């Protein structure tokens, strides 16, 4: 069994028959029925740091279902059938509180890197020009630098999005900047939106979801019950 697929009973993602890496988010809500996929960037250059931020138990109530690194590695933090806190104040075609019906994917990417001089991240780190592109955001703003997404990152994201569509028959794929315009600008103009959507639809047409879950390997977090057990331990820590 090759590629990505979703176990709808547990809300967990598999790659080549095994669960992807999992790190439990402290901020996890109740059950949801996913209808929308929301694309984000992390505004950082590190998957490790982003995952720590998205799973930390603190006063900042934030989480996401998945994080996809620049090298294509995938980490799941919240089961797809549970609410993650990624969208904030949001509106999709008149429906508010998009966290209640959406899946959030965070892609490791710095996003906007300034409008003047060489590209620099919000932390002050200078990036090579070849890692970036210049563009205006579709929602307005100055001509500026944006970090490019890697080819393998976009490809993996395409395959994951197709698996999610097969599992949940999603109604749409949007950016955070679509449901929170003016407040958010991710995934930004460097994300190849049109090509991504077309590739996802093509992948959906050729995909076949397995009907049985693969054998769980010893020591791998593989059921929603285990997610909940570990979450309760975290809450009581």
106 among known catalytic residues: yes
Residue count (the chain): 237
CB of 140 within 8 A of CB of 177?
A: no
**Which conformational region is residue 38 in: left (phi greater than 0), alpha (psi within -120 to 50 degrees), or beta?**
beta
User: Which string of DSSP letters, residue by residue, matches 48-83?
Assistant: HHHHHHHH--SSS----SEEE-TTS-EEE-S-TTB-
Residues 6+ apart with CB under 8 A from 222: 10, 12, 19, 216
Which stretch of DSSP H or E encloses residue 152?
Answer: helix 151-168
Asked whether the beta carbons of 224 and 216 are under 8 A apart, the reply is no
**Active-site residue, from 15, 106, 147, 159:** 106
- Residue 82 vs residues 153, 197, 224: alpha-carbon distances, Å: 24, 24, 10
Annotated catalytic sites, by residue? 106
């Amino acid at each position: 069994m090759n590629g990505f697929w979703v176990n709808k009973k547990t809300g967990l993602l598999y790659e080549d028959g095994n669960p992807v890496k999992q790190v439990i988010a402290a901020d996890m809500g109740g059950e949801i029925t996913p209808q929308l996929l929301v694309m984000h960037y992390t505004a950082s250059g590190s998957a490790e740091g982003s995952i720590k931020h998205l799973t930390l138990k603190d006063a900042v109530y934030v989480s996401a279902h998945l994080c996809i690194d620049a090298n294509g590695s995938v980490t799941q933090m919240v089961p797809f059938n549970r609410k993650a806190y990624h969208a904030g104040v949001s509106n999709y075609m008149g429906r508010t509180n998009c966290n209640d019906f959406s899946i959030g994917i965070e892609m490791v990417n710095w996003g906007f890197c300034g409008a003047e001089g060489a590209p620099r991240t919000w932390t002050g780190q200078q990036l090579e020009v070849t890692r970036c592109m210049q563009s205006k955001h579709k929602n307005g703003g100055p001509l500026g630098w944006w970090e490019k997404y890697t080819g393998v990152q976009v490809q993996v994201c395409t395959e994951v999005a197709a698996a999610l569509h097969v599992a949940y028959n999603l109604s749409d794929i949007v950016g955070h900047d679509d449901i929170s315009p003016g407040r958010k600008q991710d995934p930004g103009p460097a994300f190849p939106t049109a090509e991504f959507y077309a590739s996802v639809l093509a992948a959906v047409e050729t995909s076949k979801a397995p009907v049985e879950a693969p054998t769980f390997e010893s020591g791998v977090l593989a059921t929603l019950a285990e997610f909940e057990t570990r979450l309760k331990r975290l809450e009581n820590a």
